[in-house]
Amino acid sequence: MAQDVVRIGIGLVGPGTVGGTLLRQIARQAPAVLSTNKADLRVLGITSSRRMVLSDSGINLHGWTEIFESKSVSADMESFLSHVAGCDGYHHVLVDCTASDAVPLHYKDWILKGGHVVAANKKLGAGALDVYKGVKESCDKCAATFLYEATVGAGMPIISTLKGMLDTGDQVQRIEGILSGTLSFILNTLSERPGTSFSEVVSQARKLGFTEPDPREDLSGADVVRKVVVLARDCGLDISAEDVPVESLVPKELQAVKSVEEFMEKLPQYDDLMRSRLESARAANEVLRCVGIVDIEKASCAVKVERYPSSHPFAGISGTDNIVQFTTSRYSPRRLVIQGPGAGPEVTAMGVFSDLLALAHSRGAPL
Amino acid sequence: MAQDVVRIGIGLVGPGTVGGTLLRQIARQAPAVLSTNKADLRVLGITSSRRMVLSDSGINLHGWTEIFESKSVSADMESFLSHVAGCDGYHHVLVDCTASDAVPLHYKDWILKGGHVVAANKKLGAGALDVYKGVKESCDKCAATFLYEATVGAGMPIISTLKGMLDTGDQVQRIEGILSGTLSFILNTLSERPGTSFSEVVSQARKLGFTEPDPREDLSGADVVRKVVVLARDCGLDISAEDVPVESLVPKELQAVKSVEEFMEKLPQYDDLMRSRLESARAANEVLRCVGIVDIEKASCAVKVERYPSSHPFAGISGTDNIVQFTTSRYSPRRLVIQGPGAGPEVTAMGVFSDLLALAHSRGAPL
């Protein structure tokens, strides 16, 4: 008995860097996915915050940018979702490649109407706890699938590994990781190049495109907090971003400064602070790293700048690498460590694509 | 619409250290698996090479050792498999926790009769190429599932990560790893404790139970070759163990020595060889590691003892850790690295258990 082909109808929200890369990856891989994975992936709609394009049978992904430019209409989320859900013969998947707070507010209704969700967007997993729980409950009720591998570590197998541990009865005790590529780059560079100042490295990271337009968004640790919350909730902790104490790398006096230019201009005044921390770490043969911590036993999380000895796996990373260390009843005293680039469009899109294939393989999926 | 429960009927071959741990893990986790994963896991038969016990509705896993002792009959693989396949209302899964060459010869027929296979046994994946291809083809033909996460890195997500890359169209260029916990321990200890001799560390590893009864089975690199072949075949290479050049750590003159005692007694005579390699590595601030290499571009594999600078991730491991580094078109220049204990009953059984849950989730599974 040959396996039937499963038809997946995708509504992509956010055709930006990650979403656009995902569409390219799907376009290139579609024939192999059809023959190997027995899945027929069709994109039934693409919407940005302003424009959208819809199709009953699947948008030609090799020419989607032209189609989007020439044939798109004013975006409207309600009619976008109705269109995708209304295409018969597909499993309907909302793929959220935005960083929007608004898009996740549609997940619950979408799931209750029979859809599935794959998100690179962290705003549900790290957002208001009641909204998050509402989505999880609707998934249970409808046997729907909500996957979000790309929210932590991009394409790295972090979420799936954690779920595998939990599902097979491992006791997860602690997850600790360097979860921001930007902060990783800044602190790695500082430890690799003694003499370089904090403000110089921030400025360099900004020039290389590793920071948000306002680097304070990275330096504040807010994005690390979101990833920590996603992981903590997977471990069963009822935690929200407000509950996570975070050590910001933005000097207090510069938090309220309005313009980015003024911030960058004044930052060198605070270099001495970081310099003395770095020097005292170096004297002890240690390095500084910004880590997110989920302590399941204490039911608490934190984001802090910590010192690690040079023999520690966290000390050995370079560039914008992420690294995550799991301590569990099975993975102790020797831990499971996963390390690699945790940002970038190709690997992030791959995380979303993997989720789509996992969904296509899942037994919720046979039509 | 609530999801139906999927019933998985297991025939476990090899209730030894790994198989026994798996049964304990399943026994403890069964209620959660039923409620969370909607899977009802029943063990319909357990067989060792000598004794077997069968059940139509599932063996009580909390008391399986007593049942096995008091109620088992002479083992017979044919009637064991017929019994499991004959229990109606289940997806039938052969779980191979042996290291046997003979058990994998049953996979193909089993699959052609509608069954699935989960293996911790490397002897199919690294065995005769025609047998391997026969099983893979029968899987395609029958839409059957053959999973083997535990064959490389035990519970670490190595195989699943590789498959995710391949399925989403990443180009895997090179896989390089320390894949033997025993060789890892020996070489890590030698680099951590200058002055300790090779023969002393081998003897220590043997006392700690990290080696096979005859440590030459580890030192020869044969087990690393098997893991390399499993990985290479997943990448599409038609390769067998005979094609993999391997650098053995067994001195040539001692390969034919008959007794283990004589081998251990004579090993110190060859310590100088290793000592000089270690010293010249140390002088360059490097360490020795035994690595398995899959070079997809050159379509070749190798197992060798290589030098790594202290900044390399392979230099930073300790104890019996495994580490695997993937170089792909998406994961370069920064690679994906997975590190952790790659042996031991708990993590190996977890690898098998994860595969069972993946099977229960898969769309091959709905009854």
Q: Do B357 and A164 touch (CB under 8 A)?
A: yes
Q: Give CA separation, A241 vs A30, A301, B338, B350, in Å.
A: 38, 9, 28, 32
Q: Give CA separation, B159 vs A148, A216, B231, B234, in Å.
A: 20, 39, 7, 8
Residues 206-245 of A with CB under 8 A from B: none
Nearest residue to A301 via CA among A314, A309, A291? A291
Q: Is A365 touching B (CB cutoff 8 A)?
A: yes
User: Is A227 one of the catalytic residues?
Assistant: yes
Nearest residue to B21 via CA among B357, B359, B343? B343
Among A204-218, A281-295, B336-350, which stretch is predicted with the lowest mean pLDDT? A204-218
Cα(A38)–Cα(A61) distance, integer angstroms: 19
Which tens digits make up the pLDDT trace of A102-152?
999 999 999 999 999 999 999 999 999 999 999 999 999 999 999 999 999
Q: Do B334 and A311 touch (CB under 8 A)?
A: no
**Do A36 and A3 form a contact (C-beta atoms < 8 A)?**
no
Q: Do B321 and A334 touch (CB under 8 A)?
A: yes
Alpha helices for B196-335 (secondary structure H)? 198-207, 216-219, 222-234, 260-266, 271-283
Tell me which residue in B336, B346, B364 faces A330 most closely, judged by beta carbons: B346
Phi, psi of A112 (to 5 degrees): -65, -25
Arithmetic mean of pLDDT, A318-340:
96
Which residues of A are documented as binding site? 14-19, 98, 122, 212
Residue B367 pLDDT exceeds 50: no
Cα(B363)–Cα(A366) distance, integer angstroms: 6
Burial B171-185 (b: 16+ CB within 10 A, else e): ebbbbbbbbbbbbbb
* B362: Cβ contacts below 8 Å, ≥ 6 apart: A361, A362, A363, B145
Arithmetic mean of pLDDT, A155-167:
98
Question: Cis ω on the peptide bond leading into residue A333 (within 30° of 0)?
Answer: yes
pLDDT of A330 reads 97
Which residues of A are documented as binding site for NADPH? 98, 122
Which tens digits make up the pLDDT trace of B252-272?
999 999 999 999 999 999 999
Cα(B51)–Cα(B71) distance, integer angstroms: 9
Q: Do A334 and B311 touch (CB under 8 A)?
A: no
3-state secondary structure at position A71: helix
3-state secondary structure at position A317: coil
Burial class (CB in 10 A: 0-12, 13-18, 19+), B78: exposed
Q: What is the CA radius of gyration of chain A?
A: 22
Q: Is B55 touching A (CB cutoff 8 A)?
A: no
Phi, psi of A284 (to 5 degrees): -95, 15
pLDDT of A3 reads 65
3-state secondary structure at position B56: coil
pLDDT of A131 reads 98
Question: From the CA of B253, how many Å to the nearest CA of chain A?
Answer: 36
Tell me which residue in B170, B334, B341 faces A334 most closely, judged by beta carbons: B341
Which tens digits make up the pLDDT trace of B142-157?
999 999 999 999 999 9
Instruction: Return the structure tokens found at A56.
Output: 């009953």
**Do A127 and A151 form a contact (C-beta atoms < 8 A)?**
no
Cα(A203)–Cα(A274) distance, integer angstroms: 15
Q: Find the closest chain A residue to B324 by CA distance.
A: A338
Arithmetic mean of pLDDT, A84-98:
97
Burial B341-352 (b: 16+ CB within 10 A, else e): bbbbbbbbbbbb
Phi, psi of A205 (to 5 degrees): -60, -40
- Report yes or no for ipTM above 0.90: yes
Q: Is B352 touching A (CB cutoff 8 A)?
A: no
Q: What is the CA radius of gyration of chain B?
A: 22
Question: From the CA of A244, how many Å to the nearest CA of chain B?
Answer: 28
What's the one-letter identity of residue B169?
G
Arithmetic mean of pLDDT, B180-194:
95
Q: Do B357 and A168 touch (CB under 8 A)?
A: yes
Cα(B353)–Cα(A247) distance, integer angstroms: 39
Question: From the CA of A239, how many Å to the nearest CA of chain B?
Answer: 21
Q: Do A321 and B334 touch (CB under 8 A)?
A: yes
Instruction: Return the structure tokens found at B73.
Output: 């009959």
**Kind plus residue range of the DSSP H or E element containing B33:** helix B17-36
pLDDT of B197 reads 97
pLDDT of B212 reads 87
Q: Do B168 and A366 touch (CB under 8 A)?
A: no
Give Cα B5 to chain centroid, integer Å: 30
Band of residue B310 on the pLDDT scale cut at 50, 70, 90: confident
Which of the residues A113, A227, A252, A258 is marked catalytic? A227
The rounded mean pLDDT for chain B is: 95
Q: Using a pLDDT cut of 70, give the percent of chain A over it.
A: 98
pLDDT of A364 reads 62
**Do A125 and A154 form a contact (C-beta atoms < 8 A)?**
no
Cα(B353)–Cα(A134) distance, integer angstroms: 30
**E-strand spans in B48-90?**
51-54, 73-74
Which residues are paired to A74 by β-bridges? A51
3-state secondary structure at position B46: strand
Alpha helices for B244-343 (secondary structure H)? 260-266, 271-283
Q: Find the closest chain A residue to B160 by CA distance.
A: A157
**Do B260 and B213 form a contact (C-beta atoms < 8 A)?**
yes
Tell me which residue in B38, B354, B363 faces A361 most closely, judged by beta carbons: B363
Which tens digits make up the pLDDT trace of A40-68?
999 999 999 999 999 999 999 999 999 99
Cα(A234)–Cα(A244) distance, integer angstroms: 16
Which residues of B are known catalytic residues? 227
Query: pTM score, two decimals?
Result: 0.96
Q: Is A136 touching B (CB cutoff 8 A)?
A: no
Instruction: Return the structure tokens found at A324.
Output: 């995550």
Quick one: CA torsion of A128, A129, A133, A134, rounded to 10 degrees? -40
pLDDT of B3 reads 65
* ∠ Cα A350 B334 B289 (to 5°): 120
Arithmetic mean of pLDDT, A67-73:
97
Report the 10 Å Cβ neighbour count for A234. Answer: 20
Q: What is the DSSP string of A209-230?
A: T-S-SSTHHHHT-HHHHHHHHH
pLDDT of A37 reads 87
Q: Is B327 touching A (CB cutoff 8 A)?
A: no
Cα(A135)–Cα(A138) distance, integer angstroms: 5
Which tens digits make up the pLDDT trace of B203-229?
999 999 888 889 999 999 999 999 999
**Do A149 and A157 form a contact (C-beta atoms < 8 A)?**
yes
* B347: Cβ contacts below 8 Å, ≥ 6 apart: A330, A331, B154, B155, B156, B340, B341
Which tens digits make up the pLDDT trace of B90-108?
999 999 999 999 999 999 9
Burial B11-22 (b: 16+ CB within 10 A, else e): bbbbbeebbbbb
Arithmetic mean of pLDDT, B128-153:
96
Which tens digits make up the pLDDT trace of A176-227?
999 999 999 999 999 999 999 999 999 999 999 888 889 999 999 999 999 9
Q: Is B31 touching A (CB cutoff 8 A)?
A: no
pLDDT of B366 reads 43
Residue B363 pLDDT exceeds 90: no
A29, A40, A167, A367: best to mutate for the B interface, most B CBs within 10 A: A167
Angle, in degrees to the nearest 10, between helices B271-283 and B181-192: 70
Burial class (CB in 10 A: 0-12, 13-18, 19+), A327: buried
3-state secondary structure at position A105: helix
Q: Do A362 and B366 touch (CB under 8 A)?
A: no
**Kind plus residue range of the DSSP H or E element containing B161:** helix B159-167
Residues 148-207 of A with CB under 8 A from B: 155-157, 160-161, 164-165, 167-170
Cα(B177)–Cα(B180) distance, integer angstroms: 9
Nearest residue to B303 via CA among B238, B264, B250, B260? B250
Q: Find the closest chain A residue to B158 by CA distance.
A: A157
**Do B165 and B176 form a contact (C-beta atoms < 8 A)?**
no
B330, B346, B359: best to mutate for the A interface, most A CBs within 10 A: B330
Cα(B335)–Cα(A339) distance, integer angstroms: 8
Which residues of A are documented as binding site for L-homoserine? 212
